[in-house]
Protein backbone atom coordinates (compact mmCIF):
# COMPACT_ATOMS: atom_id res chain seq x y z
CA UNK A 1 0.00 0.00 0.00
CA UNK A 2 1.42 3.37 -1.04
CA UNK A 3 1.71 6.10 1.58
CA UNK A 4 -0.66 9.06 1.28
CA UNK A 5 2.36 11.24 0.35
CA UNK A 6 3.23 8.87 -2.52
CA UNK A 7 -0.40 8.79 -3.69
CA UNK A 8 -0.47 12.60 -3.66
CA UNK A 9 2.79 12.83 -5.62
CA UNK A 10 1.47 10.34 -8.19
CA UNK A 11 -1.78 12.33 -8.45
CA UNK A 12 -0.08 15.70 -9.04
CA UNK A 13 2.27 14.10 -11.61
CA UNK A 14 -0.75 12.60 -13.39
CA UNK A 15 -2.55 15.98 -13.45
CA UNK A 16 0.50 17.47 -15.17
CA UNK A 17 1.14 14.56 -17.56
CA UNK A 18 -2.51 14.49 -18.65
CA UNK A 19 -2.49 18.23 -19.41
CA UNK A 20 -5.00 19.18 -16.71
CA UNK A 21 -2.27 21.27 -15.07
CA UNK A 22 0.98 22.80 -16.27
CA UNK A 23 4.07 24.05 -14.43
CA UNK A 24 3.35 24.79 -10.79
CA UNK A 25 -0.30 25.80 -11.40
CA UNK A 26 -3.04 23.78 -9.74
CA UNK A 27 -2.84 21.70 -6.57
CA UNK A 28 -4.41 18.71 -4.85
CA UNK A 29 -4.97 17.19 -1.42
CA UNK A 30 -5.87 13.85 0.18
CA UNK A 31 -7.54 13.38 3.57
CA UNK A 32 -5.45 11.62 6.25
CA UNK A 33 -6.35 11.16 9.94
CA UNK A 34 -7.54 14.51 11.42
CA UNK A 35 -6.31 16.54 8.46
CA UNK A 36 -4.90 16.17 4.97
CA UNK A 37 -1.76 16.14 2.87
CA UNK A 38 -1.51 18.93 0.28
CA UNK A 39 0.98 19.69 -2.49
CA UNK A 40 3.58 22.36 -1.61
CA UNK A 41 3.58 25.96 -2.86
CA UNK A 42 5.56 27.03 -5.90
CA UNK A 43 7.10 23.70 -6.94
CA UNK A 44 6.73 22.01 -10.31
CA UNK A 45 5.44 18.45 -9.70
CA UNK A 46 8.46 17.07 -11.56
CA UNK A 47 10.69 18.62 -8.89
CA UNK A 48 8.67 17.24 -5.94
CA UNK A 49 9.46 14.27 -3.72
CA UNK A 50 7.15 12.63 -1.20
CA UNK A 51 8.95 14.61 1.55
CA UNK A 52 7.70 17.86 -0.01
CA UNK A 53 4.06 17.01 0.72
CA UNK A 54 2.72 19.16 3.56
CA UNK A 55 0.38 17.89 6.31
CA UNK A 56 -2.22 20.25 7.73
CA UNK A 57 -4.80 19.48 10.42
CA UNK A 58 -8.24 21.05 10.72
CA UNK A 59 -6.95 23.60 13.23
CA UNK A 60 -4.57 24.89 10.54
CA UNK A 61 -1.39 23.44 12.10
CA UNK A 62 1.21 22.69 9.41
CA UNK A 63 3.81 19.92 9.44
CA UNK A 64 6.58 19.58 6.85
CA UNK A 65 9.36 16.98 7.01
CA UNK A 66 11.65 19.15 4.84
CA UNK A 67 14.29 21.52 6.15
CA UNK A 68 13.57 24.37 5.65
CA UNK A 69 9.87 23.43 5.88
CA UNK A 70 7.74 23.56 2.75
CA UNK A 71 4.77 25.91 2.61
CA UNK A 72 1.40 24.41 1.64
CA UNK A 73 -0.17 25.46 -1.67
CA UNK A 74 -1.39 29.07 -1.57
CA UNK A 75 -4.90 27.62 -2.07
CA UNK A 76 -4.77 25.60 1.19
CA UNK A 77 -7.82 27.46 2.54
CA UNK A 78 -10.36 25.85 0.23
CA UNK A 79 -8.73 22.42 0.56
CA UNK A 80 -8.94 22.81 4.36
CA UNK A 81 -12.54 24.10 4.34
CA UNK A 82 -13.82 21.49 1.84
CA UNK A 83 -12.24 18.52 3.63
CA UNK A 84 -13.37 19.85 7.03
CA UNK A 85 -17.01 20.30 6.03
CA UNK A 86 -17.60 17.76 3.23
CA UNK A 87 -17.46 14.34 4.85
CA UNK A 88 -18.22 12.75 1.46
CA UNK A 89 -14.93 14.10 0.04
CA UNK A 90 -11.50 12.60 0.64
CA UNK A 91 -9.68 14.09 -2.36
CA UNK A 92 -9.67 17.67 -3.71
CA UNK A 93 -8.28 18.52 -7.16
CA UNK A 94 -7.80 22.10 -8.38
CA UNK A 95 -6.81 22.78 -11.99
CA UNK A 96 -6.31 25.66 -14.38
CA UNK A 97 -7.17 23.32 -17.25
CA UNK A 98 -7.79 25.09 -20.56
CA UNK A 99 -11.50 24.61 -21.18
CA UNK A 100 -12.74 24.88 -17.59
CA UNK A 101 -10.74 28.10 -17.29
CA UNK A 102 -12.06 29.37 -20.64
CA UNK A 103 -15.67 28.96 -19.49
CA UNK A 104 -14.87 30.43 -16.05
CA UNK A 105 -14.13 33.75 -17.79
CA UNK A 106 -17.88 34.17 -18.41
CA UNK A 107 -18.74 33.74 -14.69
CA UNK A 108 -21.82 31.67 -15.57
CA UNK A 109 -23.01 28.23 -14.51
CA UNK A 110 -22.70 25.50 -17.15
CA UNK A 111 -26.23 24.25 -17.89
CA UNK A 112 -27.26 20.65 -18.63
CA UNK A 113 -26.32 20.74 -22.32
CA UNK A 114 -25.23 17.08 -21.97
CA UNK A 115 -26.54 14.47 -19.55
CA UNK A 116 -23.01 13.82 -18.20
CA UNK A 117 -23.29 17.15 -16.34
CA UNK A 118 -24.93 14.91 -13.70
CA UNK A 119 -21.49 13.49 -12.86
CA UNK A 120 -20.92 16.74 -10.93
CA UNK A 121 -24.00 15.98 -8.81
CA UNK A 122 -26.80 18.09 -10.28
CA UNK A 123 -28.35 19.88 -13.24
CA UNK A 124 -25.50 22.36 -13.70
CA UNK A 125 -21.89 23.05 -12.82
CA UNK A 126 -21.90 26.27 -10.85
CA UNK A 127 -19.38 29.11 -11.24
CA UNK A 128 -18.33 31.18 -8.21
CA UNK A 129 -18.20 34.96 -8.00
CA UNK A 130 -14.71 36.30 -8.69
CA UNK A 131 -12.42 36.43 -5.65
CA UNK A 132 -8.62 36.76 -5.38
CA UNK A 133 -6.69 33.46 -5.33
CA UNK A 134 -5.60 32.20 -1.93
CA UNK A 135 -8.22 34.18 0.02
CA UNK A 136 -10.82 33.09 2.55
CA UNK A 137 -13.41 34.83 0.35
CA UNK A 138 -12.56 32.48 -2.54
CA UNK A 139 -12.85 29.47 -0.24
CA UNK A 140 -16.24 30.68 1.03
CA UNK A 141 -17.50 31.08 -2.56
CA UNK A 142 -16.17 27.64 -3.53
CA UNK A 143 -18.07 25.97 -0.66
CA UNK A 144 -21.30 27.64 -1.80
CA UNK A 145 -20.80 26.57 -5.44
CA UNK A 146 -19.96 23.00 -4.33
CA UNK A 147 -23.08 22.62 -2.18
CA UNK A 148 -24.45 19.14 -3.06
CA UNK A 149 -22.04 19.11 -6.03
CA UNK A 150 -18.69 17.53 -6.77
CA UNK A 151 -17.32 20.16 -9.15
CA UNK A 152 -17.43 23.93 -9.68
CA UNK A 153 -15.76 26.64 -11.74
CA UNK A 154 -13.85 29.48 -10.06
CA UNK A 155 -14.47 32.75 -11.95
CA UNK A 156 -11.51 33.83 -14.12
CA UNK A 157 -9.41 31.09 -12.55
CA UNK A 158 -10.14 27.36 -13.07
CA UNK A 159 -12.05 24.53 -11.42
CA UNK A 160 -12.31 22.46 -8.24
CA UNK A 161 -13.35 18.80 -8.16
CA UNK A 162 -13.92 16.68 -5.06
CA UNK A 163 -14.17 12.90 -4.89
CA UNK A 164 -14.60 10.09 -2.41
CA UNK A 165 -11.23 8.68 -3.55
CA UNK A 166 -8.50 9.44 -6.11
CA UNK A 167 -10.16 7.44 -8.90
CA UNK A 168 -13.50 9.19 -8.36
CA UNK A 169 -11.94 12.68 -8.26
CA UNK A 170 -9.80 12.03 -11.35
CA UNK A 171 -12.71 10.57 -13.28
CA UNK A 172 -14.84 13.65 -12.56
CA UNK A 173 -11.94 16.03 -13.32
CA UNK A 174 -11.37 14.54 -16.77
CA UNK A 175 -15.10 14.42 -17.51
CA UNK A 176 -15.71 18.03 -16.42
CA UNK A 177 -12.79 19.27 -18.55
CA UNK A 178 -14.21 17.32 -21.53
CA UNK A 179 -17.69 18.77 -20.93
CA UNK A 180 -16.18 22.25 -20.82
CA UNK A 181 -14.41 21.57 -24.13
CA UNK A 182 -17.66 20.39 -25.74
CA UNK A 183 -19.65 23.36 -24.40
CA UNK A 184 -16.97 25.81 -25.58
CA UNK A 185 -17.26 24.39 -29.13
CA UNK A 186 -21.07 24.37 -28.95
CA UNK A 187 -21.12 28.06 -28.02
CA UNK A 188 -19.24 28.85 -31.25
CA UNK A 189 -22.33 27.68 -33.15
CA UNK A 190 -25.01 29.50 -31.15
CA UNK A 191 -27.17 28.48 -28.20
CA UNK A 192 -27.34 24.70 -27.66
CA UNK A 193 -30.56 23.05 -26.51
CA UNK A 194 -30.50 22.44 -22.76
CA UNK A 195 -31.98 19.29 -21.19
CA UNK A 196 -35.08 19.92 -19.06
CA UNK A 197 -35.24 19.24 -15.31
CA UNK A 198 -37.45 16.21 -16.09
CA UNK A 199 -34.91 14.83 -18.56
CA UNK A 200 -32.08 15.38 -16.07
CA UNK A 201 -34.17 13.76 -13.32
CA UNK A 202 -34.30 10.60 -15.41
CA UNK A 203 -30.51 10.73 -15.83
CA UNK A 204 -29.99 11.07 -12.09
CA UNK A 205 -32.24 8.06 -11.42
CA UNK A 206 -30.33 6.00 -14.01
CA UNK A 207 -26.97 7.07 -12.58
CA UNK A 208 -28.02 6.00 -9.09
CA UNK A 209 -28.21 2.41 -10.31
CA UNK A 210 -24.58 2.46 -11.50
CA UNK A 211 -22.30 0.90 -8.87
CA UNK A 212 -19.50 3.39 -9.50
CA UNK A 213 -21.58 6.52 -9.11
CA UNK A 214 -23.01 7.90 -5.90
CA UNK A 215 -24.85 11.14 -5.38
CA UNK A 216 -22.89 13.29 -2.92
ZN1 LIG B 1 -5.56 28.20 -8.88
Q: What are phi and psi of 200, to 5 degrees?
A: -70, -30
Q: Residue 215: inside a domain, yes or no? A: no
* Residues contacting residue 34 through CB under 8 Å, at least 6 positions apart: 57, 58
Residue 75 a catalytic site member: yes
Comparison of pLDDT for 24 and 84, the residue scoring more? 84
Calculate how far, in angstroms, residue 27's C-alpha sits from the geometric centre of ligand 1: 7
pLDDT on residue 207: 83
| This prediction's pTM | 0.95
Query: Rounded to an integer, what distance in angstroms lies between the CA atom of residue 164 and that of residue 31?
Result: 10
CATH number for position 21: 3.40.225.10
Which residue, 9, 42, 3, 4, is CA-closest to 26? 42
Alpha-carbon Rg of the chain, whole angstroms? Answer: 17
E strand spans, the chain: 27-32, 35-38, 54-57, 62-63, 91-95, 151-154, 158-163
Calculate how far, in angstroms, residue 47's C-alpha sits from the geometric centre of ligand 1: 19
Asked if residue 212 has pLDDT above 80, the reply is no
Is the Cα dihedral 108, 113, 114, 116 positive or negative? positive
Domain with 94 in it: 4-208
Calculate how far, in angstroms, residue 135's C-alpha sits from the geometric centre of ligand 1: 11
Calculate how far, in angstroms, residue 185's C-alpha sits from the geometric centre of ligand 1: 24
Query: Rounded to an integer, what distance in angstroms lies between the CA atom of residue 169 and that of residue 67?
Result: 31
Asked if residue 51 has pLDDT above 90, the reply is yes
Please answer whether residues 157 and 78 qualify as being in contact, where contact means their C-beta atoms are separated by less than 8 angstroms: no
Calculate how far, in angstroms, residue 178's C-alpha sits from the geometric centre of ligand 1: 19
Calculate how far, in angstroms, residue 31's C-alpha sits from the geometric centre of ligand 1: 19
Domain count, the chain: 1
Calculate how far, in angstroms, residue 24's C-alpha sits from the geometric centre of ligand 1: 10
Looking at every residue in the chain, the average pLDDT score rounds to: 95
Q: Residue 39: inside a domain, yes or no? A: yes
Residue 209 — very low, low, confident or very high, per pLDDT cuts 50/70/90?
Answer: confident
* Cross-sheet strand order for the sheet of 158-163: 62-63, 54-57, 35-38, 27-32, 91-95, 158-163, 151-154
Which residue, 3, 93, 90, is CA-closest to 53? 3
Q: Residue 126: inside a domain, yes or no? A: yes
The one catalytic residue in 71, 75, 131, 205 is 75
132-174 pLDDT, tens digit each: 999 999 999 999 999 999 999 999 999 999 999 999 999 999 9
Amino acid sequence: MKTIQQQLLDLTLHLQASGLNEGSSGNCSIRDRDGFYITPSGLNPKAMSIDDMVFMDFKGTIQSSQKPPREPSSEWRFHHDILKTRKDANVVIHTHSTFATTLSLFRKDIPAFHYMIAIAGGNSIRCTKYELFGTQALSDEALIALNERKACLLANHGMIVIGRDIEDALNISHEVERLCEQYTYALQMGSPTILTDKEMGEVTERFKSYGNWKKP
